[in-house]
Amino acid sequence: MRRQPLLTFVLALTAIACGGSSHHHSTTEPPADEAAPPTAEEARAFVARVNEDLRRLAVNQQRAEWIKSTYITHDTEIVAARANEALMAYTSQAIADARRFDGLELDEDTARQLHLLTISQSLPAPNDPAKRRRLAEIAAQLEGLYGRGKVCSDPADPETCRDLQDLSNVLAESRDYDELLEAWNGWRTIATPMRPMYQEFVSLGNEGAREIGFDDLGELWRAGYDMSPGEFDAEVERLWEQVAPLYEQLHCYVRAKLSEHYGAERVPPQGPIPAHLLGNMWAQSWENVYPLVEPYETEGDIDVTRALERNGYSSRDMVRMGESFFTSLGLAPLPDTFWERSMFDKPADRDVVCHASAWDVEFDNDLRIKMCIQINEEDFITIHHELGHNYYYRYYYELPILYQSGAHDGFHEGIGDTLALSVTPSYLQEIGVLQNVQRSDEAVINLQMKEALAKIAFLPFGKMIDQWRWRVFSGDIGPDEYNQGWWDLRQRYQGIAAPNERTEAMFDPGAKFHVPGNTPYTRYFLAHILQFQFHRALCREAGFEGPLHECSIHGSTEAGAKLQAMLAMGASRPWPDALEAISGERAMDASALVEYFAPLLEWIQEQNEGRTCGW
C-alpha cells in the first residue's frame, strides 16, 4: 500500500499534483557579490526558505492529487500534470541551488536537510520546460490508465465491464483453471497502451536524474538509505539470503498442494508455479489459496472474514477498530477531520483509484485514508497498515517538511504491519470479533500457514519489482525486452511463471499499480523484515514472555511510548538511530521473522521430505 504525503510530494510521483507558478524560479535571492563564498548562515537561511516553499507547494499538490485520485477525469489529470510540473521545476532548481553549499562546513541539522533535498525526488524533471511538461503529462496519464482500467466482454455495454476489484475477486475465489486464466489475462490488457509511454517516461526521468548528479533513476532511488547505492544493494541481498530458505520451503509445499488440485500437467511438481493460481492478481500474496493448502482441516479455522460479516461490521467500524488499537497504546485518537474527509467506500458514480493509501493533505495533521474497503480479513489488515502511515504523520507533522518522512521508506511501510502482527486470535477474541479460539499446536500451524502465505510469499515479489526497474533505468533491460526481463526475474526470485505466452507487444509490469504509479517498491520488502524486528522489540518493552508469534502489544502504553519516540523522529536522524530508538539495534535483521515462523518452518520441512524443492 502506498504512503502519500511528506516527501511524497517529490519522493514518489505516486502523487502528481501541486500548485504554484510553473515558472522556473530560483529558490534564493542572488547575493550582491556573486563571487562571494557561501556561508553557513546562508545555508541555514536557504534550508528555511526551501522548507517554507515546499510546504506551500506540497499542500496544493496534495489537494489536487486527492481530487484526481477520488475523481478521475480528463480534466483532473491535466490539472495534476500541470501542477506537478511546477513542483518538479521548483525542486530541481532548489537542488541545483543547494550545490552552492557543497564542501561547506555546516551544522548537522542543515547538512542533513540539504542531503534529503538532494535525494528527495523519485522522478526528477529535466530542466527543459517542454520535457518537464511532457514528463508530468505521462505520469498523470499512466496512473489514470491504471485507475480507469476495465475489461469488457462487450465494449458497447458497460454492464459487461469488470474492474480490478471484480477481477481480483475471481482470482481470490475461483478454483476453475480457465476462469482464473481469463481474469488474469484480462487485467493485463489494460497495461498494453502504457508500454510506449513508459519507455518515454524512463528516458525523461533518467535525464532529470543525470542533471542532479546521478547515473539514472535507480541510482537515485538507492541513495536514500544513508549508505551508498552499492552498499544498499549488498544490504538488500544480505536480508534476502536470511529469508530465502523460508520462501523455498513454502513454495515447495504450496506447489505440491496445487499440483494435487490442478494436476501435474498444469502445475509441474518440480517447476515454477503458474502465476494465476495463487489467489492474487500478481501472485504477490497467497492467502486466498489457504483452503487448498490448509495443514489441519479438522482444526477450527480462524475465519476473520466470516466473523466480520457475521457481526455486521461496516467499513467505518473496521477503521474504528484499527484506531482503537493505536489508542490502546496511549497514542492520540485520529482527528475529527479524518472521519469527515477520508474515502472508505468505492463510489458508485465515478472512477477512483481504489489502491489503498494514507494521506496528510495539509502536512499539518490533516489525516485521511483512501480505500474501497471490502468487509474481509485482507482489508482489515490493510486498514492497520494505512493507519500506521497516518500515525507516523501524526507524530512528525511539526517538523520541517524535509524531515516529514520515515527514517527510510521501509520504516513508513512497516509501522502499521507491526501492529497488525498483534492482531492475534487472542486479541480478536478479546474485542469480540472471534469466539472460542482454539489454542492447540495444530491451530498454531494453521494460523502460521495463513500468515506465511501473506508475509513470506511476498518477500521475493517485494524484492524483484525494483530489481526490474533498476535494470530498466540502467539500460540492462532494454525497451525491446521489458516483458522478458520481467518474467525472467519473476521466475528467478519467485519461482513463478506466466501461464501462457507473453510477448513484447504486452506490458505486464504495468498491470501492477506501483509501476505506472512510479512508487519505489523495495520499501515493502524492507518493511516485511522490519515489522518483525519492531514487533520483537515492542513485545520485549511490553514485558511479554513467550513465543513471538503469540505476542500482542495491545494495551501496552510502555510499547506505545517506545513507538511514539521513533515516530516523532521522522527523517531527522539517520535510520540506524531511529531503529536503535525502538529496538536498541542499529542493523536491519530478519532473525525476528525467522523466530516468528519457527513452528511452521519445522512443520513444513517435515512435510517437504522426499520432495524436490526449488525450480
pLDDT at 406 over 50: yes
In a domain, 187, yes or no: no
Q: Which of 57, 49, 51 is CA-nearest to residue 19?
A: 57
Question: Do the domain assignments include residue 207?
Answer: no
- Do residues 482 and 592 share a domain? yes
Do 411 and 322 share a structural domain?
yes
Q: Which three cell numbers stand for residue 377?
A: 480479513
Domain that holds residue 130: 2-147
Q: Which residue type does 481 have?
A: E
| Residues whose CB falls within 8 Å of the CB of residue 551, separated by 6 or more in sequence, listed in order | 421, 422, 424, 535, 539, 542, 544
493 and 599 in a common domain: yes
289 vs 398: CA distance, rounded Å? 44
What are residue 150's phi and psi, to 5 degrees? Answer: -145, 155
How far apart (Å, rounded) are the C-alpha atoms in residues 40 and 29? 16
pLDDT at 577: 97
C-alpha cell at 181: 486464466
pLDDT on residue 122: 87
Q: Which long-range contacts (CB under 8 A, 24 or more apart) does 209-216 make?
A: 209/124, 211/92, 211/124, 211/126, 211/127, 212/92, 212/95, 212/96, 212/118, 212/121, 212/124, 213/118, 215/474, 216/473, 216/474, 216/475
603 shares a domain with 558:
no
> Closest Cα to residue 39, out of 104, 118, 108?
104
Asked whether residue 167 is domain-assigned, the answer is: no
**Sole residue written with cell 544498499:** 232
Nearest 5°: phi and psi at 313? -70, 140
- Residue 338: count of CB within 10 angstroms of its CB: 20
Q: Under DSSP, is residue 483 helix (H, G, I), strand (E, B) or coil? A: helix
Determine how many CB atoms are found less than 10 A away from the CB of residue 435: 9
Do residues 101 and 56 touch, judged by C-beta distance below 8 A? no
Residue 555, phi-psi category: left (phi > 0), alpha (psi -120 to 50), beta (remainder): left
pLDDT of residue 300: 60
Residue 301 — very low, low, confident or very high, per pLDDT cuts 50/70/90? low
Could you tell me if 421 and 561 lie in one domain?
yes
Distance, CA of 410 to CA of 87 (rounded, Å):
25
Q: Within this chain, do residues 318 and 427 fall inside the same structural domain, yes or no? A: yes
Q: Mapping DSSP to helix (H, G, I), strand (E, B) and coil, where does residue 34 land?
A: coil
139: closest CA among 151, 122, 120, 116?
122
Domain-embedded: residue 165:
no
- On whether both 137 and 275 belong to a single domain, the answer is no
User: Cell triple for residue 418?
Assistant: 507491526
Within-domain flag for 143: yes
Tell me which residue of 400, 405, 394, 359 sits closest to 55, measured CA to CA: 400
Instruction: Name the burial class of residue 91, with classes exposed (0-12), middle (13-18) and buried (19+) by CB atoms within 10 angstroms of its CB.
Output: buried
Residue 384 gets the label, from left (phi > 0), alpha (psi -120 to 50) or beta, of alpha
Helix/strand/coil percent split, the chain, to 5: 60, 5, 35
Rounded to whole angstroms, the Cα distance separating 406 from 341 reads 24
For residue 188, is it within any domain? no
Shared domain for 577 and 590, answered yes or no, is no
Dihedral pair phi/psi, residue 384, rounded to 5°: -60, -40
> In 3D, which of 88, 11, 125 has the Cα closest to residue 389?
11
91-102 tens-digit pLDDT: 888 998 999 999
Half-sphere exposure of 337 (CA within 13 A, CB side): 11
pLDDT score at 27: 54
The per-residue pLDDT for 35 is: 62
> Are residues 447 and 511 both part of a single domain?
yes
What digits encode the pLDDT tens for the residues 511-552? 999 999 999 999 999 999 999 999 999 999 999 999 999 999
Q: Which amino acid is at 409?
A: D
* Whether residue 7 has pLDDT greater than 60: no
- Torsion over CA of 521, 405, 540 and 320, rounded to 10 degrees? -90
**Is the residue at 209 inside a domain?**
no
Q: How many angstroms separate the CA atoms of 528 and 236, rounded? A: 12
445 plus 516 within the same structural domain = yes
Q: What is the mean pLDDT of residues 368-392?
A: 94
Instruction: Give pLDDT tens digits for 431-484.
Output: 889 887 777 899 899 999 999 999 999 999 999 999 999 999 999 999 999 999
Indicate the residue type of 368: R
How much of the chain exceeds pLDDT 90, in percent?
Answer: 77
Indicate whether 7 and 46 sit together in one domain.
Answer: yes
- CB of 149 within 8 A of CB of 163? yes
Residue 526 domain-assigned (yes or no): no
Q: Choose the final residue of a domain: 147, 167, 199.
A: 147
CA pair distance 218, 476, nearest whole angstrom = 12
Annotate 281-349 with three-state secondary structure: CCCCCCHHHHHHHCCCCCCCCCCHHHHHHHCCCCHHHHHHHHHHHHHHCCCCCCCHHHHHHCECCCCCC
Cell of 158: 458497460
Bridge partners of 358?
3, 369
Q: Out of 147, 172, 200, pick the residue that ends a domain.
A: 147
Beta bridge partners of 497: 274
Q: Residue 237 pLDDT > 80, yes or no?
A: yes
How confident is the model over 66-121, as pLDDT tens digits?
999 999 998 998 888 777 777 778 888 899 899 999 999 999 999 999 999 999 88
Structural domain count of the chain: 3
Please say whether the dihedral angle defined by the alpha carbons of residues 262, 268, 269 and 271, taken in this order, is positive or negative: negative
Mean of per-residue pLDDT scores for the chain: 91
DSSP state of 29: P
pLDDT of residue 422: 92
Tell whether the torsion through CA atoms of 54, 384, 417 and 550 is positive or negative: positive
What does the alpha-carbon distance between residue 63 and residue 87 come to, in Å, rounded to a whole number?
13
Can you give the pLDDT at residue 176?
A: 97
Considering 102, 117, 147, which residue would you say is the last residue of a domain? Answer: 147
Q: Regarding beta strands 273-274 and 367-370, do their DSSP bridges make them parallel or antiparallel, or are they unpaired?
A: unpaired
Model pLDDT, residue 3: 46
- Model pLDDT, residue 121: 82
251 and 364 belong to one structural domain: no
Over its C-alpha atoms, the chain yields an Rg (Å, rounded) of 24
